[in-house]
Amino acid sequence: MKPKAGHEQIEMELLLPFLKEMLAEGREVKMTVTGNSMYPLLRDRQDSVLLAKEEQPKKYDIALFVRSNGEAVLHRIIKCGQDGFIMLGDNQYEKEGPILLSQVVAVAKGFYRGERFIPFNTWWCRLYTFVWSNAGILRKVLKPFVVWVGKLIKRAERME
């Protein structure tokens, strides 16, 4: 997919040092989501997340971390332990971890759907996170329903 006019696509391995530097300075960074691992909440190349440095990420945070092979990934923390974090994409069924705190680059504070910013501390984001993260294998059954509800909400917003 081609980037929109005025937008450049930059490979993550080139972007990561600059991202870490900006976060270390206390700045927040808006980054376009690529991939489907966080669907249905975050849509590939349609939504963006607002990333910030977080000294102590918590359960249910969506974190950007770097795998041991150097790949940067945005997944949800589903468990915090002494050995590190257990991560899982909202559209995945295999847990990953332990991920060390030193591998976590940033935590998403919210996301942009179009021009609208939606913080992750809204009631419906917290409800979605709790239900989706604890649904386990039921997510396969629930996903079509969640997508359908999302389309209804979108349709209702257009009517306003």
Separation in Å, CA 38 to CA 14, 62, 77, 92: 23, 9, 12, 8
Model confidence over 72-113: pLDDT tens digits? Answer: 999 999 999 999 999 999 989 889 999 999 999 999 999 999
Is the pLDDT confidence value at 2 over 60? no
Before 17, cis peptide (omega within 30)? no
Q: Which domains does the chain have, with CATH numbers?
A: 12-159 (2.10.109.10)
3-state helix, strand, coil in the chain (%, to 5): 30, 30, 40
Q: Specify the 3-state DSSP secondary structure of 139.
A: helix
Q: What percent of the chain has pLDDT over 90?
A: 59
Instruction: Note the pTM of the prediction, 2 decimals.
Output: 0.80
